[in-house]
Structure 1
Amino acid sequence: MLLEFIAIIAAGFGLAGLVLMLNVVVRKRLPGWAMPASAGLGMLAMAVWLEYSWLDRVTAQYPAEVEIASTNEVRAWYRPWTYAVPQVNRLIAIDHRFDRRNPAHPDQVLTQVLLVGRWEPARQFGVVFDCAGGRRADLVDQVRFAEDGSLANAPWRALQPDDPVLRAACRR
């Protein structure tokens, strides 16, 4: 967050400096408001770019086995440009490096789910998806694995058949 703040300030100073140089070249014929307006425009443009490039910058750091299953797009009245192009502020990903299947329950996959939000710490937790039954069970404290590999005390949650996280988890 601090680095982004520094980048925004630097963009404002940079664009104001360019306008200052242009003003020297045209022998001070630009209006007095040109330099502060360009500083504000530079800071706004950098802030917007940082917001919209967040998803690409975050996902570029993930290995190939991490699949983005779902993103959350937002629109806000105080960011009117988000009505033209919605901004992504959260994502849900499946980390296929942790996929495990039990031969006794071939329709179930144990995997890791990543919850990542802008300006929030990333969270990772284990989940068992029942691909045939269209449901999931989060691996919380009371969940245990029985002798046959089934889940005991698992609070299963029904999912829609077209749920993007379920589809991503069951794809491999």
Structure 2
Amino acid sequence: MLLEFVAILAAGFALAGIALTLNVLLRRRLPKWVVPASAGAGMLAMAIWLEYSWFERVTANLPQEVEVVSTNRLRAWYRPWTYVVPQVNRLIALDHRFDRRNPALPDQVLTRVLLLGRWEPSRQFGVVLDCAGARRADLTDEVAFAPDGGLAGARWIALPVDDALLRGACGA
């Protein structure tokens, strides 16, 4: 956040410097408001670019085995440009490096879910997805693995058959 603030200030100073240099080269023929307006435009443009490039910057740094299965697109009245092009501010990803299947329960997949958000701490948790039953159980402290490989104490949540997590983990 601090680095983005510094980048926004630097963009403002850079554009103001360009406008000031142009004004000097034109022998002060530009209106006085051009330099501060250029600084404001530079800072606004940099802030918008940082907001819109967040998703690409984050996904470029994820390992190859991490699959983004869902994104949240934001529209806000105080950012009118988001009505033209919505901004991605959150994503849900599956970390396939942690995928495990039990031969006794071939329709269930144990995996890790990543929740990433702009200006939010990232979260991750284990989950078991039942591909045949279209349901999910989060691995919490109350959940234990039974001797047969099933889950004891799990709270199963029914999912629609076209759920993004289910499709990503089950390969459907």
Q: CA offsets per residue over residues 43-98 of structure 1, 9 Å max, x none?
A: 00000000000000011111110000100001000000000000111000000000
3-state SS, counterpart of residue 133 of structure 1:
coil
Matched letter for residue 67 of structure 2:
E
Cα RMSD for the two superposed structures: 0.8
Partner of 1:139: 139
- What is the CA–CA distance in structure 1 between the aligned matches of 2:31 and 2:166, rounded to whole Å? 58
Matched letter for residue 45 of structure 1:
A
Q: CA offsets per residue over residues 94-151 of structure 1, 9 Å max, x none?
A: 0000000000000100000000010111001000000111000000011011011001
- What is the CA–CA distance in structure 2 between the aligned matches of 1:120 and 1:74, rounded to whole Å? 15
Partner of 1:37: 37
Partner of 2:51: 51
Cα deviation, residue 165, structure 1 = 1.4
Aligned: 1:162 with 2:157: no
3-state SS, counterpart of residue 165 of structure 2:
helix
Paired residues for 1:80-95 under 5 Å: 80-95=80-95
Return the TM-score normalized by structure 1: 0.99
Identify which range, 160-169 or 11-20, moves more after superposition.
160-169
Paired residues for 1:75-154 under 5 Å: 75-154=75-154
- What is the CA–CA distance in structure 1 between the aligned matches of 2:165 and 2:17, rounded to whole Å? 47
Give the 4+ runs in structure 1 shifted more than 3 A. none
Show structure 2 runs of 5+ residues with no match: none
Aligned residues: 172
Partner of 2:65: 65
3-state SS, counterpart of residue 91 of structure 1:
strand
- What is the CA–CA distance in structure 2 between the aligned matches of 1:59 and 1:148, rounded to whole Å? 37
Show structure 1 runs of 5+ residues with no match: none
